[in-house]
Amino acid sequence: MGILTKYRFFLFFVGLLLANIMPNHAKTIHVGRGQAIIQIRKAIALAKHGDTILVNSGIYKEGNIIIDKAVHLVGKDYPILDGELKYEILSIKSDGVSVKGFRIQNSGRTTMSDPGAIKVYDVKNVSIEKNILINNYFGIYLQYAEKCIIKNNVISASQKEENQSGNGIHCWKSDSLQIIGNKIEGHRDGIYFEFVTHSVIWRNIAKNNLRYGLHFMFSHNNAYITNLFKHNGAGVAVMFTKKVVMMNNTFEENWGDAAYGVLFKELSDCYLSGNRFIKNTTGIFFDGSNRIVAERNLFQGNGWGMRMQANCMDNSISHNNFMGNTFDVTTNGSLTLNQFFENYWDKYEGYDLDKDKIGDVPYHPLSLYAVIVEKNPPAMLLYRSFMISLLDKSEKILPSLTPENFVDNKPRMSPYNL
């Protein structure tokens, strides 16, 4: 056998070996009117892992579509998947699935199985991007999911009662999620986390939801960055959680007897910076929350800028702006174990003789009237009365009922540029 023949044989052998170890090229399956395949279900049955299923525009009423292969489901011109108010529409049961470019509407409604427009079951590396979800019970529901991306979706519903609606994005017992750039409106909760860890919620807009714009419980080591939560029924609730970072979020126009910009209940070891609390009944409500650092935040135009219950301790409140609030801070106890320092208070009437931009006289931000209203809400009827003004002035001169150590020893003379 000559050298040239041996070389050709060697190349042929290598070719056979590579053909056996390298995956086949993924193909694209077209679905819709005028195509050989007109059902998404059939395309999934024919597809192999890695294939793309391209769905043309039209209305598809196929009941519950189960995706059990690592395929890319892509819509062209936003085809409509309609659940006819009976079915869960897309059920993802394979790793590596992506869903992009669909209008998904009218899922079934039942509290027994919590159907959604898209539901992800115990898988990882799923991407759900640029979809429009309308009038569904749950929008996007993830359970036991890992390393999934939910990005740039528009999710809306129009139910009027909380028991008639699920959540826009619902995540349960999951890890390493990215919730980015979604717009959520009209659901029970905009975004709901329970037992979710190491995840990020970034650049989302949650407004006009029936209960909370964001609601998370028992969800540690997460970050919430540059989101807008506006005009939700009860604002935002963060409960029974530790090690959370909340930066550059806006909490705006959350009004009601039990509404807050954000409620912190049993929270610990968290960091808040660059957030804006504007025109809420209460900017932040602290209840049983400890070791929280809140700095460089804006509290403006709220009923209460900050309400801190007596069961909170070791919190650091510094370098914030308190402007135009009815009450800047209030508490329901006489013992204060938290620190306030170098905040700007627009109600501060002190002076700065040494021109170091820090007031020479400590500021007591807790007014006697705020304490009275906290313990007796009907006293709010006396707001702006001469008697109340006289009472507060007297308390500042001769403190008697407000905690003496509820004080900012270095009040800022001018607001920070946040």
238 pLDDT higher than 60? yes
pLDDT higher than threshold 80 for residue 8: no
Domains in the chain, number: 1
Q: At 387, is the secondary structure helix, strand, or coil? A: helix
Query: Does 396 have pLDDT greater than 70?
Result: no
Using the predicted structure, report yes or no on whether residue 336 has a pLDDT greater than 90.
no
> Which tens digits make up the pLDDT trace of 75-105?
999 999 999 999 999 999 999 999 999 999 9
Give percent of the chain above pLDDT 90.
73
Average pLDDT rounded to a whole number, residues 400-409: 75
Total length of the chain: 418
Choice among 49-58, 391-400, 401-410 with the minimum mean pLDDT: 391-400
Q: When comparing pLDDT for 117 and 368, which is higher?
A: 117
Is the residue at 413 inside a domain?
A: no
Contact criterion met (CB below 8 Å) for 308 and 283: no
The 10 Å Cβ neighbour count of residue 127 is 16
pLDDT band at 17 (very low <50, low <70, confident <90, very high): very low
- pLDDT surpassing 80 at residue 261: yes
In a domain, 241, yes or no: yes
H/E run at residue 331: none
What pLDDT was estimated at residue 166? 94
Q: What single string gives the DSSP state of each residue in 93-141?
A: -STT-EEES-EEE-----TTT--EEEEEES-BS-EEES-EEES-SEEEE
pLDDT of residue 335: 67
Confidence of residue 34 (pLDDT cuts 50, 70, 90): confident
* Residues of the domain holding 158: 33-397
Does residue 404 belong to any structural domain of this protein?
Answer: no
**What pLDDT is stored for residue 382 in this prediction?**
66
Q: What is the pLDDT of residue 10?
A: 45
| 137, part of any domain | yes
Over range 218-243, report the average pLDDT.
Answer: 96
Residue 19 pLDDT more than 90? no
Give which of 379, 357, 360 is closest to 368, Cα–Cα. Answer: 379
Q: Residue 409 domain-assigned?
A: no
Give the pLDDT confidence of 262-311 residue by residue, as tens digits: 999 999 999 999 999 999 999 999 999 999 999 999 999 999 999 998 89
Identify the pLDDT of residue 383: 67
Amino acid symbol at 121: Y
Give yes or no for residue 25 having a pLDDT over 90.
Answer: no
Specify if 145 maps to a domain: yes
| Range 26-53 burial, b when 16+ CB lie within 10 A, else e | eeebebbeeeebeebbebbeebeeebbb
More reliable by pLDDT, 292 or 9: 292
CA distance 352 to 364: 16
Write the pLDDT tens digit of every residue in 173-220.
999 999 999 999 999 999 999 999 999 999 999 999 999 999 999 999
Residue 322 lies in a domain: yes
pLDDT band at 391 (very low <50, low <70, confident <90, very high): low
pLDDT at position 7 is 46
Quick one: pLDDT at residue 101? 98
* pLDDT > 70 in the chain, percent: 86
Check residue 398 and give its pLDDT.
56
Domain-embedded: residue 2: no
What is the predicted pLDDT for the residue at 397?
57
Both structure tokens of 273: 């910076």
Average pLDDT, the chain: 89
Out of 14-18, 22-26, 345-349, least confident range? 14-18
Please give the pLDDT value at position 58: 96
Beta-carbon contacts of 18 under 8 Å, excluding residues fewer than 6 positions away, are none
Asked whether residue 385 carries a pLDDT value surpassing 90, the answer given is no
Domain with 142 in it: what CATH number? 2.160.20.10
* Tally of CB atoms within 10 A around 234: 21
